[in-house]
Amino acid sequence: MPALPKTYPDFGLTAEERREAVYGHYYEHPGMDGERGEIWCYSDRFSYRPGERVVLYVSSTSSAFDLEIARDGADFVEVLERRGIACGWQETPDQCSVEGCGWRETFAFDIPDDWASGAYRLTLTAEGHDRRPIRCHHLVIVCPAPGRKPGRILQVAATGSWTAYNTWGGSNHYQGITGPDRNQFATHASTQRPWCRGFVLLPPEAPRVPVEVDLPPMTEPRYPHMEWAYATGHSKKYASAGWASYDGIFFKWAEAQGLAVDLASQHELHFAPEMLLDYDCAVFVGHDEYWTWEMRDAVDAFVERGGRAARFAGNFLWQTRLENDGRTQVCYKYRARAEDPVYRGADTSRTTNAWEAPEVGRPGALTFGLNATAGVYTGWGGCMPRGVRGFPIYRPGHWAFAGTGLYYGDVLGAESHIYGYEVDGLDCIVRGGLPEPTGIGSPPDGVEILALGMASLVEESADLPPGWLNDEDAVFTAQTLYGEATPETIDKVKRGNGMIVSFRKGAGEVFHAGSCEWVAGLLRRDAMVEKVTLNVLERFLGG
C-alpha cells in the first residue's frame, strides 16, 4: 500500500456538516429525491432456489422502468433484461422500517434452472422529472439446488446484520423514528423494504471503517466513512454491513481463485438447516453480528457431524428472533431486560440480548471459539487509532500459516489493514510467550490461539475528549456480565483483544479469524492473507 496520509480526507463538508454526518440521523425515505424523481424496490424474500418465483415491489415517480439482472461474481454476467415494465408511486407507512412497506406487487419472474448459485444484482432504471435516468439497485440470492456437493464451499451471507443495519425508512437496530418522541432504535426490523444506498453497490473510493490515516499526536477522533456517506448521499451504515462492503468481496475473490462457491442467506440456516449438510466447508465473512438460536444450532450440528466452519468475521454479539415467517427480525439489545417479553417467562434463554448474558447462557465461543464481549473496537475513531493494523502472530508453525514465511511476532495483514474495526477475543494469559485461554467466556476444549491483538471498548485518552463511540458499549457490557456498571466493572471489560483461533469440535473443525476486516486483505490482494485463506479453505475442502 502507498504511504498513509497525515490528515483526514476532505469531502467538502463544513465542521457542522461533519458533526451531523457522525451524530445525526439521516436516512433514505420515499420522497427524499422529489426534485429529480425516484425509484425504489424490494423483493418478497432474500433468497430463492431455481424454479421459485421472485416478486418485486416497486415504487417510482415514473410510470415505467427497465430491469437488468446480472450475476455479481468474479465476472459480472447479465442474465435477464426487461424493458418498459409498468410501475407507479406507492404510499408507504410511516413505520415501514418496522411494519414493512406493504406495496402491491409490481413484477415477478421465475429463477431459471440454469442460474448458478450466487448474488444477482437488479438494476432498475426509470426517467426522472428532468428526463435524466434515475436508478436503484436491489439484490437477490440464488441458493443451490439440494444434493451433496463435495469440493464446493457454501458461503452464508450475513443477512441478519444486513437487516439490523438497513437504514431505509428511518429505523434499524441502531437509530430510529420509533417511540413516543420518534428517537428510539427499532426492536423489530422488517425485511420488506428496499436496501439502503451502499449495501448493494459502492464506488471503489468509498472509505472502509478503519481509519486510513497515519495520525499525528493530539489528533481528535473522526469517522471518515460517515463523512463520505453524508457527502455522497449514501447510507450512514453502508460500511457496517451489506454485500458491497463485505460478503461480495469474499465471494468474488473466491471465484477468481478458481474455488467453487455457492451462496445462501442466514435465513436458510434458520429455516432449512439441512442445506449445510450438503457441504464439507461453510464460510462466514465480514460483519455477521446478528444470529438466531436456530442458526447457531445449524452450525453446531454441522460441525459436530464432521463439517468444517471457517469464519473470517468479527463481532459475534446479538441473539435475534425471527417472526412473521422471517420477514421481521427482533432484537431488543440494550433494552432487552426492560422490554423483551421473553423475560416474563421462566425460560429466558431466547431473549434478544448478548450471547454472553447470563440469562442467555450460550457464549459465542461455544460455536466459533471467540466472544464479541471480549473484543470489539480497534482502528476506529478513538479506539486504538494508531494501533496494530494486522494480526500479531504467536504460533507461526500452525498449518494455516504454511507457505507464508511468517515468524513469531510478525504481523499478518498490516499493510492491508485486516485487523478491525470490530474483533472477537477471549480472556487469556501469556505463558512462555504464548497466549492461552483462561477458561473465562466458555472457550471450547483444545482451542489454540494463533494470533492476538489488542482491542478496546472505550475511546480513552488522557489528553483528548472522547469521540462518538465514547464508553456506552463498555457500560452495557459491564451491566450485562456483572449486573451493574461501576468504575470497577467497567474497568474489567473496557480492555479486550482480537484473535485467530483454531480447534476441533466433535468430528469437525473450526477456524476463526475474528475480524470484520479480513476481507480487506482479499480486496487489496495481500499475498499472505490470501495464502492463509487458501490454506484454510483447501484443508476444509479435504485437500
pLDDT digits 0-9 by tens, 187-230: 999 999 999 999 999 999 999 999 999 999 899 999 999 999 99
pLDDT digits 0-9 by tens, 38-49: 999 999 999 999
pLDDT at 3 over 80: no
| Bridge partner residues of 308 (DSSP) | 281, 509
Say what the pTM is: 0.97
- Helix axes 15-23 and 224-232, enclosed angle (nearest 10): 100
Q: How many residues belong to the chain?
A: 543
Closest CA to 211 of 425, 387, 23, 456: 387
Instruction: Name the grid cell of 195.
Output: 436496501
Task: Determine the pLDDT at residue 67.
Answer: 98
Q: Is 331 within 8 Å of 387 (Cβ atoms)?
A: no
Task: Determine the pLDDT at residue 448.
Answer: 98
pLDDT at 518 over 80: yes
Three-state secondary-structure class, residue 252 = helix
* CA–CA distance, 136 with 122 (Å, rounded to integer): 8
- Taking CA atoms, 428 is separated from 418, 496, 497, 499, in Å, by 22, 10, 9, 10
Task: Determine the pLDDT at residue 101.
Answer: 98
Task: Determine the pLDDT at residue 470.
Answer: 81
Q: Which domains does the chain show, CATH number per domain?
A: 33-147 (2.60.40.1930)
* CA–CA distance, 196 with 474 (Å, rounded to integer): 29
Task: Tell me the pLDDT band of 1, cut-offs 50, 70 and 90.
Answer: low
Question: How large is the average pLDDT for residues 26-39?
Answer: 93
Q: Is 51 within 8 Å of 110 (Cβ atoms)?
A: yes
- Taking CA atoms, 390 is separated from 169, 210, 405, 410, 418, in Å, by 37, 12, 16, 9, 5
Question: How large is the average pLDDT for residues 174-190?
Answer: 97
pLDDT digits 0-9 by tens, 323-373: 999 999 999 999 999 999 999 999 999 999 999 999 999 999 999 999 999
Question: How large is the average pLDDT for residues 384-407?
Answer: 96
Task: Determine the pLDDT at residue 6.
Answer: 87
* CA–CA distance, 142 with 422 (Å, rounded to integer): 29
Q: Is 336 within 8 Å of 344 (Cβ atoms)?
A: no
Closest CA to 292 of 268, 312, 264, 311: 268
Residue in this structure with the C-alpha cell 481509519, named with its chain if needed: 211
Annotate 64-89 with b (16+ C-beta within 10 A) or e (fewer). ebbbbbbbbbbeeeeeeeeeeeebeb
H or E element at residue 376: strand 371-378
Instruction: Name the grid cell of 230.
Output: 453524508
- Average pLDDT along the chain: 96
